[in-house]
Structure 1
């Protein structure tokens, strides 16, 4: 992890929590990078569900993982609808979010606080005890600050007896660097 990009940092944490045979979700498929990363961690077993509202992102993700060694399902739908497609409630090991817009895509098609919070709430119900939710929170410039503020405020409300919330930041980087955050569902949830 020598580049210290937010996704690399999050991948390092995710790697410690995902094992072959797990069920994982890429809630914001984008270009398929996280979907492919999760498939690699599953080593030919398990399943990854990937969601995106943009057909371009679904096509890119399917192309990126066409030779993946694990079962995948790429779904053209908003991440807030994940519970409609995933029946393994309480069995999901990892859910990955990258908030903002599709790199190289339409910046007007960015995630929004309301639907992102609904997706995270749905995701918490799907996570198993010990499961992790990884959040890369982008803000500033094109995407504004509303979603970042809403997500961070929501994270603060999670019951500390049921969830461990870790929020970090690139403290000395200019121009509103992304914020990596994690939610771990505790064993007594």
Structure 2
């Protein structure tokens, strides 16, 4: 089921990203989203990819190197909460794939206290038409609170400036992965 949310997210982002754009992967994980973004921005574009785990950044670098995309990406071993300290560029897209590193320590998870500042700061950097994508995982420890708070946050954004979409399956349990998209008008 997660694949549907990620596929939909990538379709929306692909329409928003042009060659030469700057984008951010706030949760590098195993590198799949960073690779996707690097392919979208082309040789003149730039991807900033954050993760607090060196293992995640090493995996991401391997994925990029395999595809000869490493020159398009700056890997940052830091919390996404510090996004605005690393760039003030207008961004076409920002991706979050919240939760834990697949194949990693399930006790190391994204936390609302770092995710919310990243979301808030990231929205300030999005260019008009730019999209923020967040895969939410309410099933992991702390994930339900993180997901619910981010959904409430998106609902409260002024519709004059943002459009937000909550993509989830109605006939699955509430712990199923969900997608939250925010576009700047």
TM range (shorter): over 0.9
Report the 3-state secondary structure (helix = DSSP H, G, I; strand = E; otherwise coil) of the residue aligned with 1:65.
helix
Conserved in 2, the CA contact under 8 Å of 1:21 and 1:46? yes
Deviation at 1:176, TM superposition (A): 2.0
RMSD over equivalenced CA pairs, Å:
1.8
Conserved in 2, the CA contact under 8 Å of 1:83 and 1:123? yes
Report the 3-state secondary structure (helix = DSSP H, G, I; strand = E; otherwise coil) of the residue aligned with 2:120.
helix
Structure 2 unaligned residues grouped into runs of 5+? none
Q: How many residues align?
A: 183
Counterpart CA distance in 2 for 1:51 and 1:93 is 16
Q: Which residue of structure 1 aligns with residue 132 of structure 2?
A: 133
Distance 1:133 1:182, change over 3 A: same
> Superposed, which structure 2 residues align to 1:167-178 within 5 Å?
167-174=166-173, 176-178=175-177
- Cα shift readout 1:135-166 (whole Å, capped 9, x = no counterpart): 11111144541111111111122111111111
Report the 3-state secondary structure (helix = DSSP H, G, I; strand = E; otherwise coil) of the residue aligned with 1:20.
coil
TM-score by length of 2: 0.92
Report the 3-state secondary structure (helix = DSSP H, G, I; strand = E; otherwise coil) of the residue aligned with 2:16.
coil
> Superposed, which structure 2 residues align to 1:146-165 within 5 Å?
146-165=145-164
Instruction: Give the structure with the higher percent helix.
Output: 2
More divergent stretch after superposition (12-21 vs 62-71): 62-71
Moved over 3 A (4+): 141-144
Conserved in 1, the CA contact under 8 Å of 2:99 and 2:143? no
Counterpart CA distance in 2 for 1:177 and 1:25 is 25
Deviation at 1:172, TM superposition (A): 2.1
